[in-house]
Structure 1
Amino acid sequence: MSSTNPTENKIAGHAGAAELPSPTRVLRQFRVVFNAVKTHFRNVEKAAGIGGSQLWALSVVQQRPGIGVGELARALDVHQTTASNLLKSLAAQGLIALDRNGSDRRAATVTLLPAGEVRLGSAPGPFAGVLPDALATLDARTLVRMEHDLSILIAALEAGTAGADIPLADL
């Protein structure tokens, strides 16, 4: 069985890839995806000197000055503790300011400092990462199909939902 789609052959690794078993071809596709994600985050860290999750958080703070920790966690689709830890690290590096002027001293609003602007300017995009950016370009039907198929794969892995709110850059 040979594929007539040259892109499928290229992604699978070589012209004879269509002759490989389906699990091998799909595994190769996952490798391509993981490599693209890993390479992007490596380039981000090299250019900006901070990790991909921190860069994404900085970009959200830039877009939404005065954002709170809970809102940032929702924007990044991470647990609030993860967002809080990201912000503590960014504040320690002098990239953001945490303002706790309200009546609830636990609540903080976040603003980007000039050093944070510089870091954002030195980093390659997309700030959210290449995978979220690519997923955002897909049509609804494709996303629904992928969600369904990935749910089946997750069940086969017996992985549950552990790790669903961990940023890709931190995996």
Structure 2
Amino acid sequence: MPPDSLTLPKDAPPQRVLRQFRIVFNAVKTHFRQLERESGLGGAQVWALSVIDSQPGIGATSLARALDIHQSTASNLVRGLVERGYVGAAREGSDRRSVALRILPPGKEILLRAPAPLAGVLPNALASLDDETLLRLEHDLARLIAQLDTDESAGKIPLAQS
């Protein structure tokens, strides 16, 4: 019977998988360091800037959804970008309650300096995988997370801020 492609060889201890996680995390850390060195901003801030640039007028709630982060985390990102003069926030709409975000020229300059991918290497790599692989990864990582007995709300904190 041919070996199942999903079966680990008998000699593959957990250390091999641990090494794979290290490779992934180190790739993410390396990209974040390069991003910060070349743009002057952290990874989450650059990603937020890129979303605001591609969706002028986006609100903080939609930005949080686009980045898959908690609303308060998105609000803190936006506050920092506004304070540094990279993003403008203006009340729009008939009731003037919603705030529309727009990138300002200094924010555009940041994006021109930042190395791609602006969303980060992990989201970029995950987006390139086929649905079957993503579903398998999601299932297997859910089992690992259950073993860790951790707070799943940590999934809404960007890696660049961990």
TM-score (norm 2): 0.90
**Residue aligning to 1:95:** 86
* Residues 19 and 141 of structure 1, relative CA distance in 2, 3 Å threshold: closer
> Which sections of structure 1, spanning at least 5 residues, go unmatched?
1-17
- Tell me which residue corresponds to 1:60: 51
How is 1:3-152 mapped onto 2 (pairs within 5 angstroms)? 21-102=12-93, 107-152=98-143
C-alpha separation between the residues in 2 aligned to 1:26 and 1:88? Answer: 39
Q: Which of 145, 153, 156 does residue 162 from structure 1 map onto?
A: 153
Other structure's SS at 2:28 match:
helix
With a CA cutoff of 8 Å and minimum separation of 6, indicate the structure with the bigger relative contact order: 2
Write the distance in 2 (CA, Å) between the matches of 1:169 and 1:80: 16
Please give the secondary structure, in 2, of the residue aligned with 1:162: helix
TM-score by length of 1: 0.85
TM-aligned CA deviation for residue 22 of structure 1? 1.8
The count of corresponding residues between Structure 1 and Structure 2 is 154
Counterparts of 2:63 and 2:11, CA distance in 1: 44
What SS is found at the alignment partner of 1:85? helix
Uncovered stretches (5+) of structure 2, i.e. residues with no partner: 1-8
RMSD of equivalent CA atoms? 1.6
CA distance in 1, matches of 2:74, 2:149: 27
